[in-house]
Structure 1
Amino acid sequence: MRQRLIVTGAVVTALTLTVPASAADAGPSPGAPGAGDSYYPDYGNGGYDASHYDLRLKYQPKTDELTGTATVLAKATQDLSRFNLDFALDVQEVRVGGRKAEAKATGAHELEVTPAEPIADGEQFSVVVRYKDVPSEVEVDGFTSWQRTPDGAVAANEPESAWWWFPSNDHPSDKATYDVSVAVPKGYKSISNGDIVSEEPAGKGWVRTAWRSDKPQATYLATLAVGKFDVTKGRTDSGIPVINAYSRELGAEDGSARASIERTAEITDWLQSVFGTYPFSSVGGYVPASDAHFALETQTRPFYGNTRFKEGTDVSVVVHELAHQWYGDSVSVAKWRDIWLNEGFASYASWLWSEKEDEGTAQEIADEVYDSHPADDEFWTVAPADPGAKNQFHDAVYDRGALALQALRNKIGDKPFFKILKGWPAQHEGGNARVEDFEKYAEKVSGKKLGALFDTWLRTSAKPTDPAFGATSRAGKGKSAPPESWEEIQAVHGAHRHH
């Protein structure tokens, strides 16, 4: 990881007979070229908060040429002489407040912008960036998050993907709303987040689709796909619009992909019984012919690599990515070290689905995971509460993270446990949170001291010794089945609804 110097502005000390000059006397200063994240010091930027991205794009699949005009609405959080955007494509022009601004690339993904006049602390301002490039030819540190496909391209990756299609303040702590308007050749379709606002001709041989995300969204959760998609539409029983899309190039994976993702409506309604009201205005998923081996919880419209379905249906991954809409999307990490709040909970959701489907209780799955990793396994050396940048997506963050939740469930019982699962995303909806925030919340709701439990399962670099897991549990000394039926859980915690 490249280290960047974080510039916070000059500190001026005046030697006078009265008092030293204050920092304000130094005048406007540059915003930091990083958000202060210990895992990724040069991701995101300081000095402003973005509130809205308006992206007007045109994409030619045959040449992979992307043309864009991005309008970023933001508010200064200091007196700014200049500021940075995260972006890797070739920029043609930048305007701030309608006036031409100086812009230059100062790193692999840093665009330094100097406005014609300084921006005052608290001032609302706009930034217009015009750009044109071939994203597949642009690499940062030897990699790209732009995936070419036989029928187009996809922007979907974590923790970075925005650099290849729009300029941004690329850190989850600065969430914003989005309007994404994409022109593509007739016969192709564009897929993005949120709701379809309009579809109309855009000149000879082109069609433009406008998408809107009206709830706060982290930059890495914004997605763009262009290809020859079949689009299906419907609604959940609770009235949420569902938009799914499948590349016509999926081949043998087409059936298993559709059989999995077409259960999105059913799964979303069930997840509302576990996590509370669905936090967005639409839901769905899409499968491009990308040959990617991963899936990603891109907000309202998860991305699924088609190789996920090579061996048949995979409903579990759909449950996982939809669970992220509450844990990860609506409530996002404050820093990337808080990734357990995303992955541990989404993984546990798939265990709960298995329990609900009578395919193995969460406790039985936990026993299998616990036994499958001996004490000397590297798995136990990764601490989910702060795994480190290199281990951010380690299996331990997912599975040991889910074990921590089963340990919490065993400790406090089902009623307070499911009250926590539903109350947490409601309390922090649309915002960001830390692992420590969740721990305090769990203690408050349960009325129990849980510091030792969380330290054992989230911070200790050793296999926990707990009779409630593994062979001992199966021998009858621990819990092997949930104390309540799913019907009882749903009755206690209320029916879901859509707003």
Structure 2
Amino acid sequence: MVLTGRTSARRGPAAVVAALTCAIALVTVGCTGDDEGGFRPGAADAGDPYVPGRGNGGYDVTHYGLDVRYDPATDRLTGRATISATATQDLSRFNLDLAGLDVGAVTVGGARAEHRRDDGELVVTPPDGLPRGQPFTVAVEYAGVPAPVADGALGAGGFLHTDDGAIALGQPDSAATWFPVNDHPSDKASYDIAVTVPDGLAALSNGVPGPKRSADGWTTWRWAERQPMASYLTTLVIGDYRVTTGTHAGRPMVTAVPSSEPAGGAAAVSLARTGAIVDFLATRFGPYPFESYGGIVVADPRIGYALETQSRPVYGPGFFLDDRPNPAVVAHELAHQWFGDSVSLSHWRDIWLNEGFASYAEWLWEEHDGGRTAQRAFEAQYATTDWSQPSVDPGRAAMFGNAVYKRGALAVHALRRTVGDDAFFRILRAWTAERRDGNATTEDLIVLAERVSGRQLRSLFDAWLVGGTAPALP
């Protein structure tokens, strides 16, 4: 993710090494006592202080099947979500995150289930308890006028009504504004998404495009993301867009810009470099991890950021001002397909794992594209860094600050300088291969880097990520 304008919140001295290496486990037990027979409710919170109230425990989702219909004239969305999951405990009831929409009916395993709303939670009680290890399917019918996220750390997000349609987008959360979900990146799943909109509008989302069907003035667009995806990486972009569909390296490539954007404008020119940038990054990070490529540029000025929505990043209009192409932001968001999307964080305190590597990818691409070397970019950033701001566990207010992005990138290059190019790129490729489709922590990276390089690196990571003074140059 990249912001067009970013400030860093101030905080006190950096955390000690123990704070860096501690992995915070996802809460998977109930928050109340045992129910009859030993079954108990799943937790109503993932236990992540950066997103209080988000995520849930007691089950693991494997797939979301979403079928939604949106009418821009009324801003009304109707939907059916079919969720495949497995109980991770003896489960008497469970929660799904869902904000501001009305629920008509819920079934579990085809049987009608009791349900109630508790603020942004949908509380579901199946007719019978779900034993640990049992797969089950939840179907939720819902409708209403979706709303933005009220307290987005990033800025405008959630479900946003636009002049010609809608945009569902945001980090660290947005998905619960348009479908019921376990809304935390620790529970990734595959997706099938069908979106029905009035004829003439595009309805863009993640993954491989499917066949479109039109009837009675409405068109259904279909998308499939078969690799596990964190919920905040889902997107829905509806409106008047010029959509370009093709292939790259044998996989679908779908890009879109507002119809008002000139065909040869900066946005279209920048997106046209997607294939070349992906191919370069693959030489550094390993094979591209998904089945499709692309990107979407939106016109809404409320979107002051770009976001690495899986397989198809979304870019706000501010990145293409004065009709200047901006391949750097494309490189950043495409690097996230490896760092953040395929290998996702386990807990938001480790967001530097996403942003530090993506920011470093900008330096790699700049050098490859004939600009500054990564070393020169490193030296310039080192000279201006505020070392009192930690990259790891920066606090929610600073999770999109310079320490996460730029200090994180400094730490990546310091690792490269310390272990040498051969070991460095072996570390990156091992990380993206061994952790593909999963989740990870800072501690996981340190362990892997030490194993691949054969060196003790904990003090290096500590100095560059959380130490309160400028570390010595390697």
Verify same fold: TM over 0.5.
yes
The 5 Å alignment of 1:192-341 reads 192-201=205-214, 203-236=215-248, 238-250=249-261, 255-291=265-301, 292-311=303-322, 312-341=324-353
Structure 1 distance, partners of 2:146, 2:260, is 22
Q: CA deviation at 1:92?
A: 1.6
What does the per-residue CA deviation read over 1:457-483, in whole Å, with 9 as the maximum and x for residues that have no partner? 01213332x245xxxxxxxxxxxxxxx
What does the per-residue CA deviation read over 1:33-82, in whole Å, with 9 as the maximum and x for residues that have no partner? 01122322321100000110000011112221111000111111111111
Amino acid at match of 1:368: A
Matched, 1:145 2:168: no
Q: CA deviation at 1:8?
A: 2.9
Q: CA deviation at 1:148?
A: 2.4
Identical residues among aligned pairs (%): 48
Structure 2 unaligned blocks of 5 or more: 1-26
What does the per-residue CA deviation read over 1:13-46, in whole Å, with 9 as the maximum and x for residues that have no partner? xxxxxxxxxxxx7521110001122322321100
Q: CA deviation at 1:372?
A: 2.2
Q: CA deviation at 1:370?
A: 1.5
Q: CA deviation at 1:7?
A: 4.3
Q: CA deviation at 1:369?
A: 1.1
SS of the residue 1:393 aligns to: coil
Return the structure number with greater relative CO, CA threshold 8 A, min gap 6. Answer: 2
Structure 1 distance, partners of 2:304, 2:272, is 20
Structure 1 unaligned blocks of 5 or more: 13-24, 374-378, 469-499
The 5 Å alignment of 1:99-178 reads 99-107=111-119, 109-136=120-147, 140=150, 145-178=158-191
Range that drifts further, 120-129 or 344-353: 120-129
> Which of 96, 102, 105 pairs up with 1:90?
102
SS of the residue 2:92 aligns to: strand
Q: CA deviation at 1:141?
A: 5.0
TM-score by length of structure 1 reads 0.85
Change (3 A) 1:320 1:144: closer
SS of the residue 1:397 aligns to: helix
The 5 Å alignment of 1:358-373 reads 358-373=370-385
The 5 Å alignment of 1:3-152 reads 7-10=30-33, 27-88=38-99, 89-107=101-119, 109-136=120-147, 140=150, 145-152=158-165
Structure 2 distance, partners of 1:239, 1:118, is 46
Amino acid at match of 2:144: D
Q: CA deviation at 1:241?
A: 2.2
Q: CA deviation at 1:240?
A: 2.9
SS of the residue 2:429 aligns to: helix
Partner of 1:497: none
- 8 Å contact kept, 1:323–1:346: yes
Amino acid at match of 2:381: V
Matched, 1:443 2:466: no
What's the Cα RMSD here?
1.9
Structure 2 distance, partners of 1:119, 1:86, is 19
Partner of 1:383: 390
SS of the residue 1:160 aligns to: coil
Q: CA deviation at 1:11?
A: 5.3
TM-score by length of structure 2 reads 0.89
- 8 Å contact kept, 1:149–1:289: no
Amino acid at match of 2:361: A
Amino acid at match of 2:123: E
Range that drifts further, 31-40 or 80-89: 31-40
Q: CA deviation at 1:96?
A: 1.3
